[in-house]
Amino acid sequence: MLVFAVVVSWLVAGNGAAASALIGAAAYFVPNALFALRLLAGLLGPAKASPFTFFVGEAFKLGSAVLVLGVAAWLGGAWLVWPALLFGLLCVLKGYVLLLMLRKLP
C-alpha cells in the first residue's frame, strides 16, 4: 500500500506529492514494522514478551507516528503536500482491508 500511495501521488501531482505520501506512509509503517519485529523476537527469542511489553510497544508505535508527522509538519513547510501525506497515511492504515478482501488474513 505504501508503494501504491507513492505511485498514485506521483502520477497525480508530481515529486513533492510522492515524497509527502512516502513520509505519511512511513510515519505508520516503520513504527508498526518495528513493533511487529519486537513481538516476533519476544515470541521466538529467549526473553518472553509480557502484556506490559505489548502496551509499551503500542505506546512507542503511536508516539513515533505522531512524532514523525509532527516533524514533517514542522520541517516540511512549503513543499509538503498535505493531501498526499494524508493519502499515504490512510493507505497504510487501511492496508489490512485489502488483505481481508484478498483473503490473506485468517
Does pLDDT of 88 surpass 70?
yes
Residue carrying the nine cell digits 509532527: 70
Whole-number Å distance between alpha carbons of 52 and 93:
24
For residue 105, the model assigns a pLDDT of: 60
Does pLDDT of 6 surpass 90?
yes
Residues 70-82 have pLDDT tens digits of: 999 999 878 899 9
Are 39 and 23 within 8 A, CB to CB? no
For residue 38, the model assigns a pLDDT of: 82
Are 56 and 31 within 8 A, CB to CB? no
CA angle 75, 76, 80 (to 5 degrees): 170
For residue 59, the model assigns a pLDDT of: 93
Residues 8-18 have pLDDT tens digits of: 999 999 899 99
Tell me how long the chain is: 106
Whole-number Å distance between alpha carbons of 36 and 24:
19
Residues 21-56 have pLDDT tens digits of: 999 999 999 999 998 888 887 777 776 767 888 898
For residue 63, the model assigns a pLDDT of: 94
